[in-house]
Amino acid sequence: MNIEGRISWPGFLLSIIPSSIFLIGSLITSVWSLNANFRANLVVAGFSLLTGSANALWILLSLATIVTSFRLKDGELTFGRLGRRTRTVPLTDVVSTSLPTPQKQRLKAWNGATVWLRGGYTLFLSFSVLDNARVLATFLSELPVRSNDNIEGSLVRSAVASTMVAQALVTCLLIAIGTVALLILGVAFHPNPGVGDRRLFLALGCVLLSLCAIGFYFGVLRYWIGCVRWYRLDGRVLHYRTVLSSSISQRFVDELDSVASHRPTSQQAEAGSWRLLRFRDGEQLKLHVGILQNASTLYEELKALKTRNRIAKGRRPSSIFGSDHPMWQAIQPHLEEGEQVWWIGRPVYKKLWNEMAAEVVFGLIPGTIGLLAVIAGTTVFARRMDASLTLLVVGAFFTLIGFWCVSAPYRYRRMLQDTVYAVTSRRALVIAGFTWGPQVAVDKTTDRIQSITADKAMYYEVVGRGRDVVFGGEWRKGRKGRNYWGHHGFLAVDDRQGAEAALQCLLSSDETGC
């Protein structure tokens, strides 16, 4: 089948006329407001510049992504884009084709199809300005799906656009702060007679510029460093291309040093998390779940491959626990018929000292304020009934808060006394377990018994600097609609190496692997 098409430049220019009008109008409004003498002229100029920047960016993106010509012949697709050389790819490199929804068909600028190519490349076929674009898109969408077990995916353009909008707002704020810093530096290098010590202005300007650079790195740049733009897992070989790379790289799965989940506090819950792949040579790759297709599927497959490698190389426990174990009475009622116990453990009180110390230190502040208020109410303001009563009530309230926090060591010891961990020939068991996390306080789970089967235990992770073994978790609602991730698993386990060895035995093919 042969299909050819070329862009209609008059039609394309007509499609960007509204954006061009808004751009010119924004520039004129900005210049006029800066020269005019009225209140809030700087606000009007700033808003006009933001509007003009958005329209200019839209025009540049349209010029960069539009396909100017194409030809489909002999199973190959040849296409050209503005300012780039013509490229030819086989139809087997077409990963997927997204046709426009009925809502987008009403919008001339969005009435087109998006074609994803292997290697992280995307093509936008505009139905309004490109001849035979609809015919080509329909043909590509009807191509048979490749019948293989390879996992493949690329960045989703709509999700990336949403992320970049938020980062653009952060960048605008940092630019505003940076502009103020430059003005302060200008005062430092060209001081007026009425200006004091210019070293103060120099230091303040340098501090503000440094904060802008740090904020841009952590707020924008860090998100994209190592971010995977496209990937394909072919057996034990991972093909990928990052956002900041122009070439496709290949790595063997055996080179992976660790595969871990990172779930920061986010209003997007799981969509705001990412998976971190770390290789032995130090290279790191990020799989952002919210913007990368099949990121969770790739993570689970790599985690399974990594676990199978660990099973093949790891040691196996040789003992089977029975009624002579001191914690057998806590495990035995929950065992199934014929189920063997390969490892038993419990949490270590001293390994939670960081959490306890933080609560104690925090409790000293309100506790001290409360005691001072109580003392003041009973001595200095004793003759003033209203002031004394107020200080006593407020002081008692703060004192109770401080006492609750300072009693953390006692409370933690009480929580840990009933907790038992076990790994059997069929599953991992957590009795009276906990939920905890970087921003979630240690707390008892709602389920007294947690049973983790082998298919879930395969994705276990070691976190907390080797202190905890995690099998999963849950998102918890917090302040301002934010979500906080809480781990489930073996918290502060006493024998992590023994637990991992038993888990490797559990993940083997049979129940007699020990």
Listing DSSP states for 215-269 in one string gives: HHIIIIIHHHTTBEEEEEEETTEEEEEETT-SS-EEEEGGGEEEEEEE--SBTTG
- What's the pLDDT at 35? 83
CATH class of this structure's domain 149-313? mainly beta
Q: How far apart are CA 81 and CA 62, in angstroms?
A: 11
**What angle, rounded to 10 degrees, do the helices at 353-378 and 408-416 form?**
140
Q: Which of 259, 242, 240, 255 is nearest to 300 (CA)?
A: 259
Q: Model confidence over 350-369: pLDDT tens digits?
A: 888 888 888 899 999 999 99
Q: How far apart are CA 309 and CA 311, in angstroms?
A: 5
- What residue spans define the domains of the chain? 3-147, 149-313, 328-347+419-506, 352-413
In the chain, the amino acid numbered 5 is G
Phi and psi torsions of 49, nearest 5°: -65, -40
- What's the pLDDT at 287? 92
- Note whether 266 and 166 are within 8 A (CB): no
Q: How far apart are CA 137 and CA 123, in angstroms?
A: 10
Q: Tens digit of pLDDT per residue, the chain (514 long)? A: 788 999 988 888 888 888 899 889 988 988 888 788 777 777 788 788 878 887 888 888 778 778 889 999 888 999 998 888 888 989 888 877 878 766 555 555 567 888 878 776 778 888 888 898 889 988 888 887 554 457 888 888 778 877 887 888 888 888 888 888 888 888 777 766 665 667 788 888 889 999 999 999 998 999 999 999 989 888 888 999 999 887 888 888 888 888 888 877 666 666 678 889 988 778 899 999 888 888 888 988 888 887 776 665 555 555 678 887 888 888 999 998 888 899 999 999 888 888 888 889 999 999 999 998 888 888 877 777 777 888 889 999 999 999 999 999 999 999 998 999 999 989 999 999 999 988 888 889 888 999 999 888 888 888 888 889 999 888 888 766 778 889 999 999 988 888 988 888 888 755 555 5
- What's the pLDDT at 38? 74
pTM reported for the whole predicted model: 0.65
Kindly provide the b/e burial profile for residues 156-177, where b requires at least 16 CB atoms within 10 angstroms of the residue's own CB. beebbeebbeebeeebeebeee
Q: What residues does 275 pair with on adjacent strands?
A: 261, 287
- What's the pLDDT at 188? 76
- Note whether 469 and 449 are within 8 A (CB): no
DSSP state of 321: B
Domain 328-347+419-506 is of which CATH architecture?
A: Roll (2.30)
The domains spanning 149-313 and 328-347+419-506 adopt the same CATH topology? yes
- What's the pLDDT at 147? 46
- What's the pLDDT at 318? 53
